[in-house]
Chain A
């Protein structure tokens, strides 16, 4: 519970590979009551690729892809990162290519 507070306060929607306690738009105001009087401030997550106008999601760009891979090497789901569907699709294939050439791990440790 303590770390979802942290996640809300971070300036950018960075994937932490954490639990799906992040913003879920369809939950609506229910989140306000659920946390025992705790207040949730949900920012609308936006797709990084749309905002920064990154057209080319290349498998060689490990720095970029690394942001969407959890600690254990898993691809972080859309609902945590806010990436839009078309970009997530490209991102997934890029990550899989990068794994194939040992730029990213299939499973870390």
Chain B
């Protein structure tokens, strides 16, 4: 079953730009062969870490947004664990959150649309409800 995930990982700070690109492309290749489709990759740049990880106090953050099933994610995580320059990673499942957000947005839109159709009373009632 395909779900949407975000995989964020931290690469050691002393890795060169070209090596980093190479690492990202190889990881993407592994992910796609495992059955994932990558929707977006973002290099979030160098950041100070909130605490030391493997004796590094800085790190380069990379974010993958992908559509995958559990197996592909498992494989990608294994690769991340094995690959030496990656010092930390996290996988977050985003499909449920996305669904919830869509629902909330729809509800809000419906609420916004209602007042012009109704009279002033409806608006007044809403403003008191907001307080």
Contacts and interface: CB of A to CB of B under 8 A. Distances in A.
Interface of A: 53, 55-56, 59-60, 73, 97, 99-106, 108
Contacts, number: 34
Contacts of B59: 102
A101 B51 contact: no
B101 A56 contact: yes
Given A55-B101, A55-B105, A56-B101, A105 B50 contact: yes
Interface string B1-37: 0000000101000000000000000000000000000
Nearest to A98: B50
Contact of B50 (A53, A55, A97, A104): A104
Nearest to A103: B50
B19 to A, nearest CB: 21
Given A55-B101, A56-B101, 18 more contacts: A53-B108, A55-B104, A60-B8, A73-B50, A99-B50, A100-B90, A101-B10, A101-B88, A101-B89, A102-B10, A102-B49, A102-B50, A102-B59, A102-B88, A103-B47, A103-B50, A104-B50, A105-B51
A97 B7 CA distance: 12
Nearest to B47: A103
Interface string B69-106: 00000000000000000001110100001000100110
